[in-house]
Chains A and B, each alone.
Chain A
Amino acid sequence: GNSVTQMEGPVTLSEEAFLTINCTYTATGYPSLFWYVQYPGEGLQLLLKATKADDKGSNKGFEATYRKETTSFHLEKGSVQVSDSAVYFCALPYSGGYQKVTFGIGTKLQVIP
């Protein structure tokens, strides 16, 4: 079935540093890909998505490009802020699974001033 692989972290960066969180996937066909974010004490919320190959999703300064050649969907941000400290989850739908989504293990990001 469909699956994603991402590093668990934690990733610790100084404010204004460049961020990359890697995500690779295994999938049947070319499903939509998602990044969700979980701020401390909260549930997950959708950060961005891409629905087809070569699409770029973007939101709040974060970007990710759907690359089918490398089966990757890496999350990037040019200049992180302390408020970006959170856990980031890469996700994609189950193969043939209606609305179900499979999530990666989550990468914890800590940004220090």
Chain B
Amino acid sequence: DVKVTQSSRYLVKRTGEKVFLECVQDMDHENMFWYRQDPGLGLRLIYFSYDVKMKEKGDIPEGYSVSREKKERFSLILESASTNQTSMYLCASSGLPGYNEQFFGPGTRLTVL
């Protein structure tokens, strides 16, 4: 059974803290994604990685960075968390070639106080 796992389902942090969200996939997929999901806005792409150590900004990268040191793991980093980063964060992965199905993790609900 294919699996994308995220390190936490719920996370509460304080303004200014550095936050790490971890995502691991077991499908040997080349591509990994970080989205945030907000009511009325749907899913918005934060960052995308198409290979180890390779990354590309999505639509809303400001305030975020990412790390992909191993193929199966993709981390989202909030360098200094702010209240407007309170959201649901979803990780996904997909394989090559073409526009393939994305497999999603269950999400991390992050609250920044």
Contacts and interface: CB of A to CB of B under 8 A. Distances in A.
B106 A98 contact: no
Given A89-B42, A89-B43, A43 B105 contact: yes
Nearest to B43: A103
Contact of B99 (A31, A104, A106): A31
B50 A99 contact: yes
Q: How large is the interface on A (under 10, 10 to 19, 20 to 34, 35 or more residues)?
A: 20 to 34
A43 B106 contact: yes
A11 interface: no
B66 interface: no
A99 B40 contact: no
A82 interface: no
A46 interface: yes
B4 to A, nearest CB: 7
A106 to B, nearest CB: 5
A8 B40 contact: yes
Interface in B49-106: 50, 58, 90, 92, 94, 96, 99-106
Interface of A: 8, 31-32, 36, 41-46, 49, 89, 93, 98-106
